[in-house]
Amino acid sequence: MSLQSIKYNRGSLEILDQLLLPVQSKYVAVRGVEDGWKVINKMQVRGAPAIAIVGCLSLAVEIYPEEFESKKSLRQEIEGKLNYLVSARPTAVNMKIAADELLSLANDLTKAEDVSVPDMKQRFLNATEAMLQKDIADNRAIGANGAQAILKLVAKSLGAAGASGNGSVRVLTHCNTGSLATAGYGTALGVIRNLHELGKLEHVYCTETRPYNQGARLTAYELVHEKFPATLVLDSMVAALLRAKNVAAVVVGADRVAANGDTANKIGTYQIAVVAKHHGVPFYVAAPLTSIDLQIPSGDHIIIEERPDREMTHVGEHRIAAPGINCWNPAFDVTPASLITGIITERGVFEPQELKEAITKLLEL
């Protein structure tokens, strides 16, 4: 069984505290929107899809016991609280897209004359709860689409870089994109999971992902838990790894993909893409449609979250940086579309330059 980062039953929400992993496995109750905002902002729960799901479910648990005088007052509460949740972390777009969809539902229900106040609340709760199952289904499709794309590339050059005799592959991933970052299965880690299910995963390398160490703490924990053949490397070892280990593909997640395919993801992703290009290793981004922001033309429009110096200067309580030194701690970087081989979604794998048109068409259907 894969790890469960989010436990939800109507009226009750708990998240696995990712700040304590891998040393301690402890669930924390999220009793409403205030708690939801805090666990997202403090990164007790993190990963673009998980942030959106926990944010929306924190609103569901808050309104579940409440009674509303009118649909207008319910709608107002929904709008105010969703706006607040969007402010918890700025880079991942998933919470904003979910908020827009839920608000549009609330607007439609407010206008519909045959919908009562309790009906409206019920339908709103159903819509937020549906996000859990949809995310898992999307991730499974991403996993299958990505594994097929990588295997197809490798089949073309069987015996060449990254392919062993039976066509199984070595891949590299960055940050954490697995069950802990989603409702389950994972995005980039879903691709790796699918390769493993097909018996085609020879080895997975994961980076440490300084400074928050999502790779060393969380991805490594998931890989050991799943018993995948896996090795941890430091962020500074990627060039040496790609030169030495016949890696077939890099596959990473995304926090926001712009219309032209530029992709914001965990800091360090950009330099891996540069190094992959240099070594001729295909570089894939795995992202659900809920991470794709067609409203912005390019990555220049993505706000990059900057986090406290302490995440760089300390490991736990222990200071490792010279006192007095200045720090710059952007949590994400933007990989230009020109370095990306393909964007793996639940609806197919797209080259960055075809992404906007393809997704627009899919959304119209």
Question: Toward ligand MRU, which CB reaches closer, 109 or 267?
Answer: 267
Count of residues of this chain found to bind ligand MRU when the rule CB under 6 A is applied: 17
Choices 28-36, 115-123, 175-183, 191-199; region in contact with ligand MRU by CB under 6 A: 175-183
Binding residues among 215-234 for ligand MRU as defined by CB under 6 A: none
d(CA 99, CA 122): 17
Minimum separation from the CB atom of position 91 to ligand MRU (A): 8
Are 233 and 208 contacting, i.e. CB atoms less than 8 angstroms apart? yes
Which is the catalytic residue, given 35, 255, 262, 293?
255
d(CA 52, CA 123): 18
Give the one residue of 171, 331, 337, 343 binding ligand MRU; rule: CB under 6 A.
331
266 is a site residue for ligand MRU (CB under 6 A): yes
Q: Measured between alpha carbons, how far apart are the two ends of the chain, in Å? A: 35
Q: What is the C-alpha R_g of the chain?
A: 21
Q: Which of 105, 118, 111 is nearest to 56 (CA)?
A: 105
47 is a site residue for ligand MRU (CB under 6 A): yes
Q: Write the burial class of residue 266 (CB in 10 Å: 0-12 exposed, 13-18 middle, 19+ buried).
A: buried
32 is a site residue for ligand MRU (CB under 6 A): no
| Annotation says 255 is catalytic | yes
Question: Toward ligand MRU, which CB reaches closer, 125 or 191?
Answer: 191
For residue 27, give every residue at least 6 positions away whose Cβ sits within 8 Å of its Cβ, in sequence order, or none. 7, 14, 15, 16, 17
C-alpha pair distances (Å), 316 with each of 279, 310, 313: 36, 9, 10
Minimum separation from the CB atom of position 286 to ligand MRU (A): 8
Give the one residue of 49, 55, 90, 299 binding ligand MRU; rule: CB under 6 A.
49
Give the one residue of 37, 46, 124, 256 binding ligand MRU; rule: CB under 6 A.
46
Minimum separation from the CB atom of position 186 to ligand MRU (A): 6
Going edge to edge, which strands form the sheet with 12-16?
6-9, 12-16, 27-29
Binding site for ligand MRU (CB under 6 A): 46-49, 92, 175, 177, 181-182, 187, 214, 253-255, 265-266, 331
Catalytic (active-site) positions:
255
